[in-house]
Amino acid sequence: MGEIATSDRQITLFYSSKSTRAKQTLAYAKAEGLAIQEIDILKTKLTGTQLVELADRLHLEVADLVNQEHPSYKKHFEYHNFSTDDWIKMIQHNPEIMKQPIALRGNITILVETPTDIIKI
């Protein structure tokens, strides 16, 4: 059992409050009447275990959770092949570079590409 609690009755949404896609996803989910637990990654620091678990649930490496096209990433970092621990620290200190929103419901986890993806879970 992981560190992230999930429920079949509600969607847990990891998102950045500065993200337009996240705001649209949240608005869409609420309009659909879906029960949402909101976790703003800019306000709630994710643990290394939570980041690894999110990556595992998405069948990705932790490095793949980093949006290397994000302006903040390009400003502060160059493309590198870091260790998992280094990627975790980068996300924890710069949460805006994490790909999001990520939605969880029960055993299903998706990286939301468009706001309507939220109804897939």
Q: Which percentage of the chain shows pLDDT scores above 90?
A: 79
The pLDDT-based confidence of 77 (bands split at 50, 70, 90) is confident
pLDDT digits (tens, 9 = 90+) for 47-74: 999 999 999 999 999 999 999 998 989 8
Q: Which long-range contacts link 31-39 to residues 24+ away (Cβ below 8 Å)? A: 32/118, 32/119, 34/10, 34/118, 34/119, 35/9, 35/10, 35/11, 36/10, 36/11, 36/12, 37/10, 37/11, 37/12, 37/13, 38/13, 39/12, 39/13, 39/14, 39/15
Question: What pLDDT, on a 0 to 100 scale, did the predictor assign at position 80?
Answer: 74
For the four alpha carbons of 44, 120, 60 and 75, in that order, the dihedral sign comes to negative
Question: What pLDDT, on a 0 to 100 scale, did the predictor assign at position 3?
Answer: 85
The mean pLDDT value for 6-29 works out to 94
Domains and their CATH numbers in the chain: 11-120 (3.40.30.10)
Asked whether the predicted pLDDT for residue 11 surpasses 70, the reply is yes
